[in-house]
Amino acid sequence: MTIGPGFAADSRPADEPNPVVRHRSSAKVAQWVEVHRLAVAGRETAIARHVGRLVARVWLPRSRYADVAALANATLTLGPDAGAFYDLGWVQTTTGQPWQALASYEQALALYREAGNLGSEAATLTNIGAVYDNLGDRERALAHYQQALPVTRGVGNRSGEATTLVNIGLVHDNRGDRERALAYYEQALAITREVDDRAGEAIALNNMGATYNRLGERERALAYYEQALAITREVGDRAGEATVLNNIGLVYDNVGDRERALAYYGQALPIRREVGDRAGEAATLTNLGAAYDRLGYRKRALAYYEQALPIQREVGDRASEAITLNNMGAAHFGLGDPERARAYFEQALPVIREVGDRSGEATTRHNIGEIRRQQGDFAGAKDTLDEVLKVFRAIGDRGSEATACSTMALVLVDLARVDEAVKLQRRAVVLAEQTNHPRLERMRAILGQLQQMRKR
């Protein structure tokens, strides 16, 4: 299993200056920066706050996170300011500092409420929800989004409404409800195009690509990703560009084209490091490890996982931590150490349950089922895989269902139930054909062997 989530969209506050400021010349922005410096030095609070927001609106879409943080902190030396706290929270979220981001957003939220600024209150609620979603707390994330949505609609902030819809979709996606997620993404995409929100459009397109990839519709996923990539480059969103590059790599990984996957991951990693996206850096490190694992380079894979895991723990990315633990288990299994593999899988399970990732839990249980089969516990393996299949069918993950069907067929052979095994392997092949599964030919070969076995 590899990391390829859609990413939660950060909402812009309703009172921000007109987006045209993003396209100001470098000379003009440099003038604003100097005005801000002088205003801070001269204790001109109103000027510092206003100009600081102008500069942040230019720099945030260009992933200049360290510069925005320095600007916000300078403004805050003049006293509490909702806009500076908001910008600081945005930077902290993007650079893998979730707890600090929550503290900044909560201060912004209190100040916006005190001022009666409903639009910015809704934007901040949405971003707090995004932080909780990244931490795996889906219920709290959804609660914040549901508070934000009617307020955003009430003030007529269409871009903010689209952002919140995307993030509600992402919660459902992370829970395994792909169709519901797509419905929210499609609503958001229509709004972003209506209001010409190019950055928001890229986020919706990226997340739709991620969902279609999980559903096994690789060509459709690539089409959405290619649209998203072009837009992120057009608007200068380096962090978004890296996310899409990473996700395109996942599509190629899923169809077995490891070399092309590695090339895309290799493009994403330096950008993520450049913009200070620690969580994204760890995700790409895990994906590099997974690609090398599938190429048979287990020790090299483990080296990447061992770089990723401490970063994921540092930034509180529990969902990705679980994926990396699962992948470390798979690597040790490939190295012939099933006991160590199972230990990693058992570490991953409670984390996966904590974040509500049904698909991830089923994948890890599938891996434990394979170990049980290898160790001769055929009845235990069957019980585990029965539960796994129920989950994959419920969430519509046909590619993973194909893998689990094929594993279950082998368990049924071990239990001398060859007729049932043939039937299940046929289903595995059908599902693999529908999803362009990288193990399709292997599954066809197993079906042929089982049919020969039944004739004896």
Which domains are assigned to the chain? 376-456 (1.25.40)
Q: What are the Cα distances from residue 319, in Å, to 94, 136, 207, 219?
A: 16, 6, 17, 26
CA dihedral angle for residue 105, residue 15, residue 141, residue 172, rounded to 10 degrees: -150
pLDDT at 18 over 50: no
Dmax (CA) for the chain in angstroms is: 92
Q: What are the Cα distances from residue 192, in Å, to 7, 181, 290?
A: 16, 17, 34
**Measured on CA atoms in the order 281, 286, 291, 295, is the torsion positive or negative?**
positive
pLDDT at 303 over 50: yes
- 257-291 tens-digit pLDDT: 999 999 999 999 999 998 888 888 998 999 999 99
pTM for this predicted structure: 0.70
Alpha-helix runs per DSSP H in 316-414: 318-334, 338-355, 358-374, 378-395, 398-414
pLDDT at 63 over 70: no
Q: Are 285 and 307 in contact (CB under 8 A)?
A: yes
pLDDT for position 61: 67
pLDDT at 15 over 70: no
pLDDT at 14 over 70: no
- 182-192 tens-digit pLDDT: 999 999 999 99
Average pLDDT over residues 16-29: 53
pLDDT at 386 over 90: yes
Q: Is pLDDT larger for residue 229 or for residue 136?
A: 229
pLDDT at 416 over 80: yes
**Binning pLDDT at 50, 70 and 90, where does residue 8 land?**
very low
pLDDT for position 254: 83
CA–CA distance, 13 with 109 (Å, rounded to integer): 11
pLDDT for position 455: 78
CA–CA distance, 433 with 347 (Å, rounded to integer): 33
Q: Are 166 and 179 in contact (CB under 8 A)?
A: no
Comparing CA positions, the residue from 369, 450, 455 lying closest to residue 413 is 450
- 353-385 tens-digit pLDDT: 877 778 888 989 999 999 999 899 999 999 999
**Binning pLDDT at 50, 70 and 90, where does residue 24 land?**
low
pLDDT at 145 over 90: yes
pLDDT for position 381: 94
pLDDT at 411 over 80: yes
pLDDT at 216 over 90: no
Per the prediction, the chain carries an average pLDDT of: 88
pLDDT at 20 over 80: no
pLDDT at 21 over 70: no
User: DSSP 3-state helix, strand, coil percentages of the chain (rounded to 5)?
Assistant: 80, 0, 20
pLDDT at 197 over 60: yes
